[in-house]
Structure 1
Amino acid sequence: MRVPTSILRRNVLKRGPLQVKPFIISRSFHPSIKRLIDYDPYQILGIDKSADAKQIKKAYYDLVKKYHPDVNKEKDVEKKFHKIQQSYEILRDKEKKSQYDQFGPSAFDENGNANPFGGAGAGGAGGGNPFAGFGGGGFGRASSGGNPFGGMGFDFEDLFREAFAGGRGSAGGRAGGSRAHFVTEHVGDNVEVLKSVPFKDSIFGSKVTINYKVVDSCGTCSGSGLKKGAKKKTCPTCHGSGQTTHVMGGFHMASTCPTCQGTGVSISRADECGTCHGNGVQEVPKSTTIDIPPGISDGSRIRIPGAGDAPLVTKDEYNQVRNGDLIIRVSVQKDPVFKREKNDLVVNQEILMTTAALGGEIVVPTLDGQKIKLKVRPGVQSGRKLIIPEKGVPINRNLDDRGNLDVVLNVKTLVPENPTQTALLEALADAFNDKNANRTDADWRSELEDSLNNEKYEEVDEKDLHPSKLARIGKVLGKFFNFDADKSKRDNEK
């Protein structure tokens, strides 16, 4: 609601009758009763006396956003907002601030004007104008066509521009040369790429080339989204503030402007870059070569800063853009011989039964490419682990500090393929008094049965220990039918 200046002036003049002084010191008129400010500007702004200009300004902007009459509908909010205005006017000026620090509240009247009788000089800011604290317009909006907040003693567009770092005063530039230049940083998304590497490369490291696609700044307009020589214009929806206000249930709700996405500026269709269509970015293929560190494990991620997507904003002096990161997820291929267990490599080595029994030497491969000859003691059992130091995985990417190579022995049973081999194995069984092994001699079973004292045992074939699904089904059905047959027989007997 707009309050006319004339009404405001009348309200102020009602505070006391004016008297004409018989002699003039510095002004023609003075109120008969000079009311002094009844508050502490530092306390109103919530700052200490040691606060610098930047802290004063920040505190003022925070309070303006909270207690502006167009936003805050609390009772007496205009009076509180007026005190905030006056406190800022006093403390922002070095001379006024010095006067208040020296003389206290007696240095200024209730309108924030210098009091010539309170210790401050007659030439202080304000000049006797009782409306200086209001900026000449009181609360409310100015006449149409101008800045609706011009009468508040500050530029509301400048407030939004500096407080939210998203507003624009003019197309592609500042609204005023003396105003601070705030920059918003935008960060793009990360891009993740899966890269498969051979097992050996994961152990010793290598260089790999990554081909991928990212959203990057347009090469034609260098990310501005504009044709050559064109400029951005103030957003027609939010008028450069970057935000729109909606009234919902009596509350004023602020949200990001849907037209400019909070940037405060827009690009007309006629000024759009022909390559990126005003977006400032486009999808492009890229290729990069990276180092796979030694000892990297499956599923590890390698991050390349700044090699990801660019943010989906156009570049200008108010927007600082930074690309996201490229994240490479490493998938290690399996090796037919070696497998990894933490910092150790494991290889399964088969040895013949005779070697395991008599001892001997075996040749073991390594991932380095060389072969190692190992001596095996007589009677070694299957599953025995032999450890070769410093032939495993590099520890902490250090090729000079490696884990172990574990050689797991797997004893291979001999299977005779001719009568000679069968005879030799039977002789070996006889030599070791193995009466359980098969013999080609027909009398060996009767001798075995005699040695078992004619005890009866249930015979189970090895193939029946792990029957197939079909065999298990057949066995169940067989029991079922046999049961039915026995039942019919009993019924017939009755």
Structure 2
Amino acid sequence: MNYKDYYKIMGVDKAASEDEIKTSYRKLARKFHPDVSKEKDAESRFKDINEAYEVLRDKEKRAAYDQLGSNWKAGQSGFTPPPNWQDQFHQGGSNFNGSGQGDFSDFFESLFGSGFSANQHSGRGRHANQNSRKGQDSHTKILIDIQDAYTGATRNFTLRDQGINEHGQTQTNERTLKVKIPKGIKPGQKIRLQKQGGQGAGGSNNGDLYIEVGFNPSPLFSIDGADITTELAIAPWQAALGDKVKIPTPSGEIDLTIPKLISSGSKMRLKGRGLPSKVPGDFFVKLKIVFPKALSTEEETLYQSLKASTTNSNGANTQGYKEKTKS
């Protein structure tokens, strides 16, 4: 177990005032809140910030922490508090106030005990409930269709949880949850369902359930961030002469004008037609020229005529044709 430098976590000096600590907490909590943050380690950082604030906001906890912290270096491995450390601050009860966040680290509990959790009472004539503790947060993954992210949707999902029955035996419980899919959600983002996580102890609140969203594989679309790409097969004559076609998108078919003399592998961009968000993604159409498996007599005659019109005895026209196709 490593020592935790709560001042460093909060980004404040050891001499910081209560107002400075509160201001820093609000700023960091907004930045790393799992519901809105895009940081990869947002959830763990958010827990560390809450834990640090729980200590530094309380005069007695802060004084206790400072007394020990001055003798230790942040990050020291194998950290163990001195013998009878907790007795100095827990005899006859405590008036430390829980912040309501719960789910504190082993380091915190080694200093202040395991009773400072979500449902802990203050010391105004009441004793802390040492058996109360907020339930653990749970995590799971679900797959949705890309169309759900385009329009938003509500879906029912069945989850399987491991629990203990009245006889102390492990059993699997199934439950169906109604989940609201927000418009514009991207793969890897999480949806938070409050109080749908692990069961709390001693009448405390359940933990939260974090659902990581992924997309079902699609035969039509590939996704890169907020951008979507589809592949469109076109005939050689469409590539040469241009054409107007209908293409599928997650929100329905739209018209697309293919310009003349376009090459296979070219991408056409439809701005803002990707996944919806504050900055919408783009929709790309990748063109692929496809030849028929066999030519009719008439088609072969036409291709022979095209060949003849682009060649002459010294191959000058053929060279010019090659140069055109390169440009």
Return the TM-score normalized by structure 1.
Answer: 0.36
Q: How far apart in 2 are the matches of 1:345 and 1:402?
A: 11
1:295 aligns with 2:184: yes
Q: Deviations over 1:452-473 (max 9, x none)?
A: xxxxxxxxxxxxxxxxxxxxxx
Q: How big is the shift at 1:344? A: 2.0
Q: How big is the shift at 1:419? A: 2.9
Relative distance call for 1:415 and 1:430 in structure 2 (3 A) is farther
Q: 2:244 aligns with which of 357, 361, 385?
A: 361
1:347 — aligned with what?
230
Q: Give the CA RMSD over aligned residues.
A: 3.9
Q: 1:393 aligns with which of 275, 287, 296?
A: 275
1:192 — aligned with what?
139
Q: How big is the shift at 1:282? A: 9.0
Q: 1:212 aligns with which of 148, 153, 159?
A: 159
* Cα contact 2:150–2:251 (8 A) shared by 1: no
Q: How far apart in 1 are the matches of 2:312 and 2:232?
A: 28
Helix, strand or coil at the partner of 2:298: helix
Q: Mark the runs of 5 or more structure 1 residues left unpaired by the alignment.
A: 1-53, 63-70, 73-155, 168-177, 219-274, 436-446, 449-494
Q: How big is the shift at 1:353? A: 0.9
* Cα contact 1:299–1:331 (8 A) shared by 2: yes
* Cα contact 1:162–1:180 (8 A) shared by 2: no
* Cα contact 2:149–2:275 (8 A) shared by 1: no
Counterpart of 1:410 in structure 2: which amino acid? K
1:402 — aligned with what?
280
Q: How big is the shift at 1:393? A: 0.8
Counterpart of 1:431 in structure 2: which amino acid? S
1:182 aligns with 2:128: yes
1:418 — aligned with what?
296
Counterpart of 2:241 in structure 1: which amino acid? L
Q: How big is the shift at 1:276? A: 3.1
Helix, strand or coil at the partner of 2:91: helix
1:329 — aligned with what?
212
Q: Deviations over 1:430-469 (max 9, x none)?
A: 111188xxxxxxxxxxx99xxxxxxxxxxxxxxxxxxxxx
Counterpart of 2:182 in structure 1: which amino acid? P
Helix, strand or coil at the partner of 1:402: coil
Q: Deviations over 1:100-152 (max 9, x none)?
A: xxxxxxxxxxxxxxxxxxxxxxxxxxxxxxxxxxxxxxxxxxxxxxxxxxxxx
Q: Mark the runs of 5 or more structure 2 residues left unpaired by the alignment.
A: 1-58, 68-82, 96-111, 116-123, 316-327
Once the two structures are overlaid, the 10-residue window that deviates more, 356-365 or 328-337, is: 356-365
Q: How far apart in 2 are the matches of 1:369 and 1:380?
A: 25
* Cα contact 2:231–2:286 (8 A) shared by 1: yes
* Cα contact 2:233–2:289 (8 A) shared by 1: yes
Relative distance call for 1:159 and 1:210 in structure 2 (3 A) is same
Q: How far apart in 1 are the matches of 2:299 and 2:182?
A: 52
Mapping of residues 38-437 of structure 1, within 5 Å = 159=91, 161-162=93-94, 180-184=126-130, 185-214=132-161, 276=166, 284-311=173-200, 313=201, 315=202, 321-372=204-255, 374-396=256-278, 402-413=280-291, 416-433=294-311
Q: How big is the shift at 1:290? A: 1.4
Relative distance call for 1:382 and 1:434 in structure 2 (3 A) is farther
* Cα contact 1:215–1:310 (8 A) shared by 2: no
Relative distance call for 1:430 and 1:309 in structure 2 (3 A) is same
Counterpart of 2:179 in structure 1: which amino acid? I
Counterpart of 2:303 in structure 1: which amino acid? L
Helix, strand or coil at the partner of 2:133: strand
* Cα contact 1:353–1:414 (8 A) shared by 2: no
Helix, strand or coil at the partner of 1:289: strand
* Cα contact 1:199–1:333 (8 A) shared by 2: yes
Q: How big is the shift at 1:213? A: 4.4
Helix, strand or coil at the partner of 2:245: strand
Q: How big is the shift at 1:357? A: 1.5
Q: Deviations over 1:464-486 (max 9, x none)?
A: xxxxxxxxxxxxxxxxxxxxxxx
Relative distance call for 1:277 and 1:360 in structure 2 (3 A) is closer
Return the TM-score normalized by structure 2.
Answer: 0.53
Larger radius of gyration: 1
Q: How big is the shift at 1:189? A: 2.0
